Chains A and B, each alone.
Chain A
Amino acid sequence: MAERVRVKTWMPPGHVRAPAYLRGKTGVIERALGAFGNPEQLAYGLPAEKQPLYRVRFSMAEVWGAGAEVSDDTLDAEIYGHWLERV
């Protein structure tokens, strides 16, 4: 059973790489990619902590609801660990 995660619904200012259209959406971890510097700090020349990065797979139905072209098509995005919560 793949691990289910939800993207946090934060709306902070700054160089954030978790796209707004995926916030609050639930998907499954497609693969773990390793640890990468947090772009929210890197972008400002600050010392960046390493964050685990995951490819998370969402169904189009989860992202777009009834407006999805085809419900079972999927959308994968890379999301840093601090933006994810287990569900």
Chain B
Amino acid sequence: MAKDPPGAGTSKEINLTIPMLPNMEIAATQTAEAVARFMEFDPDQIDAVKIALIEACINAFEYSNSSEGQVYIKFIMNPEDLVVEIRDHGQGFDPEHPAALPKKHRGKGLTIMRGLMDSVEIASGPGGTTITMSKARASR
């Protein structure tokens, strides 16, 4: 029987900070993919985490109006799930009544996150926004 790695059964964190620059969300998905693979997620679960994370990042890029221009991402590897926290220090928004977007077919980012992850929680205020999403580990 394979021996569990040191620290198995406890939560582990990885922190990543990305600048709000074009395509930097892809840098975040590369870390997400490595973490999810380590946790033995299946390919569909990995894709779901990546696309939900992309949506959270571009929400921050496009709508936070953050003056510092950074997004802080925390991956928490729990025994039962992967939690991804995406935080910006922008102006915040009302998640129940997000602003109407001028372009047709836009504004579905939160719906996509909710459709692809097991849970999505949003805390937003004048100091910024934190989106916390979770995906259960693949059953083994």
The answer to whether A and B interact is no
Binding site for A on B (CB under 8 A): none
